[in-house]
């Protein structure tokens, strides 16, 4: 295509993008798609294509033949191809922000772009916060809210799912990294999305037009909407936790935190059993599309408990043992993901890395902080997990992240190196006098070593002699050295 043809095509697409959509409640999905494709092609649709291509490449196995063909066509490596797709996606969004009116597809594009940004740049990156702000602006756009009464039912449900998902992501990132939420409220009249699969919406859209049931489906199956609803519920508690954290008075904050903790657990137990993760044996016996999302949801729930316990710990020191045991439990579950053959076969290295970084690393950092700076009361020591077990589990996480980092040599993302700081902190504990402040006894440990506890990369290995020396470590008051 000549430069002149490219320019003419760009002008045509931009002109299409500027047009308002003419929708009514009975517009069919097929008619809706024609408004964004073919002669009516718009930048929103192209942005979605580039975004999905980048997401697919990011999560493709190293030996994926289709991904290999796409990479070869670009005459570059995987990292270069992903970067090109991300760049094109961002260009499309820039054009949409300049020319496109508010629409469901633009909202969808910003949501998918946020998912891509979190994976490509990292959850704590500047780009992630920037894209989250873009999505929050679109969610609360009054123009989009006014369109709600005259859009097809299926797209109204899609909007609800996107808003509920955006609400969860916002509260999750804000609470985890100590940031102020971007989505401070929900659009007027917002309702929780129905627990209905997209295929059923396509088949029965008009029949469900007046359905406003907020109940969970009773069929026993799960779909994306099921998990979006569950996370939206958990997100409301994180928002409440943020509001409580702003209360200056400890006396006023404590009863609210205790009440929140009780209601949080009750809300989790009230969710359908099909959403509850139980143990590794169950995961091995379940299909991937049930077990892995189920595992992620359970980790989301545990992370919420972790945040509540941390807030309580700032007021009640006696909650410290509970938080240490909680971190140990979460860390064991994360490590089991790396060790499970079925999970490894059905997830990409990037998916496993993000689970480790999002759920395992915060717990490991808290445990390391306590191993380094413990000055707790002696009477608590019998109620705390073994320091040796914690060291082994942290080592297992570091080793697993290290292996995943090298599982796909073409995938180079800066935030993947997060585990290296854990590795350095763990080595500090093992190599410095800080280990003596924990106390140690004699005898042989009966503890079970977690799978993959050895840190790779040569001189970072924990030798057998050092492990024997650390047997029967106990928590004691830290001395002044």
pLDDT of residue 134: 94
Q: What is the pTM of this model?
A: 0.83
Cα separation, 303 vs 308, in Å, equals 9
Confidence of residue 397 (pLDDT cuts 50, 70, 90): very high
pLDDT (average), residues 323-349: 86
pLDDT (average), residues 237-256: 87
Cα separation, 31 vs 13, in Å, equals 18
Residue, of 243 and 340, whose pLDDT is higher? 243
Cβ neighbours for 121, distance < 8 A, ≥ 6 positions apart = 127, 128, 413, 414, 415
Confidence of residue 293 (pLDDT cuts 50, 70, 90): confident
Give the residue among 351, 433, 365 at the shortest CA–CA distance from 400: 351
Confidence of residue 252 (pLDDT cuts 50, 70, 90): confident
Evaluate whether 99 touches 17 at the Cβ level (below 8 Å).
yes
Residue, of 33 and 94, whose pLDDT is higher? 94
Residue, of 375 and 180, whose pLDDT is higher? 180
Helix (H, G, I), strand (E, B) or coil at 457: coil
Task: Give me the helices (H) in 275-319, please.
Answer: 280-285, 288-313
What's the angle, vertex CA 86, arms to CA 82 and CA 90, rounded to 5?
Answer: 170
pLDDT tens-digit map of 420-436: 788 888 888 777 645 55
What's the angle, vertex CA 72, arms to CA 66 and CA 78, rounded to 5?
Answer: 80
Confidence of residue 91 (pLDDT cuts 50, 70, 90): very high
pLDDT (average), residues 326-340: 89
Give the residue among 293, 298, 297, 168 at the shortest CA–CA distance from 223: 293
Residue 418 in this model has a pLDDT that exceeds 70: yes
pLDDT (average), residues 46-69: 87
Residue 147 in this model has a pLDDT that exceeds 80: no
pLDDT tens-digit map of 175-226: 877 888 989 888 888 888 888 888 877 776 655 555 555 678 777 778 889 9
Percent of the chain at pLDDT exceeding 70: 79
pLDDT (average), residues 319-344: 86
């Amino acid at each position: 295509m000549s430069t002149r043809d490219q320019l003419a095509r760009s002008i045509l697409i931009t002109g299409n993008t500027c047009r308002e959509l003419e929708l009514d409640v009975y517009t069919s999905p097929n008619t809706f798609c024609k408004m964004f494709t073919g002669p009516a092609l718009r930048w929103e649709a192209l942005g979605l294509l580039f975004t999905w291509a980048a997401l697919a490449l990011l999560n493709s196995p190293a030996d994926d033949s289709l991904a290999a063909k796409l990479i070869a066509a670009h005459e570059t490596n995987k990292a270069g191809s992903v970067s090109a797709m991300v760049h094109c996606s961002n260009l499309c969004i820039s054009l949409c922000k300049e020319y496109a009116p508010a629409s469901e597809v633009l909202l969808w594009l910003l949501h998918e772009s946020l998912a891509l940004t979190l994976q490509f740049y990292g959850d704590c990156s500047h780009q992630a916060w920037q894209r989250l702000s873009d999505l929050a602006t679109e969610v609360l756009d009054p123009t989009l809210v006014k369109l709600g009464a005259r859009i097809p039912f299926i797209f109204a449900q899609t909007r609800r799912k996107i808003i509920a998902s955006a609400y969860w992501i916002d509260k999750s990132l804000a609470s985890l990294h100590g940031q102020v939420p971007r989505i401070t409220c929900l659009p007027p009249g917002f309702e929780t999305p129905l627990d209905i699969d997209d295929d059923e919406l396509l088949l029965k859209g008009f029949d469900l037009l007046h359905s406003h049931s907020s109940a969970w489906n009773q069929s026993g199956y799960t779909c994306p909407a099921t998990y979006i609803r569950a996370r939206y519920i958990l997100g409301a508690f994180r928002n409440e936790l943020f509001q409580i954290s702003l209360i200056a008075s400890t006396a006023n904050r404590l009863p609210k935190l205790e009440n929140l903790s009780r209601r949080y657990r009750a809300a989790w137990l009230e969710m359908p059993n099909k959403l509850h993760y139980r143990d590794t044996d169950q995961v091995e016996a379940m299909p991937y599309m049930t077990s892995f999302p189920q595992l992620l949801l359970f980790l989301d729930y545990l992370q919420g408990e972790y945040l509540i316990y941390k807030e309580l710990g700032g007021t009640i020191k006696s909650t410290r043992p509970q938080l240490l045991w909680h971190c140990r439990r979460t860390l064991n579950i994360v490590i089991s993901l790396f060790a499970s053959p079925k999970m490894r076969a059905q997830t990409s290295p990037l998916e496993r890395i993000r689970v480790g970084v999002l759920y395992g690393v915060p717990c490991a950092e808290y445990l390391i902080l306590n191993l380094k700076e413990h000055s707790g009361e002696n009477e608590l020591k019998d109620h705390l997990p073994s320091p040796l077990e914690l060291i082994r589990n942290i080592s297992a996480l570091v080793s697993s992240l290290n292996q995943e980092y090298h599982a796909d040599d073409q995938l180079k993302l800066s935030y993947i190196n997060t585990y290296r700081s854990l590795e350095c902190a763990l080595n500090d504990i093992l190599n410095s006098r800080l280990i003596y402040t924990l106390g140690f006894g004699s005898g042989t440990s009966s503890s079970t070593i977690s799978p993959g506890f050895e840190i790779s990369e040569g001189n970072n290995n924990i030798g057998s002699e050092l492990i024997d020396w650390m047997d029967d470590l106990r928590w004691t008051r830290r001395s002044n050295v």
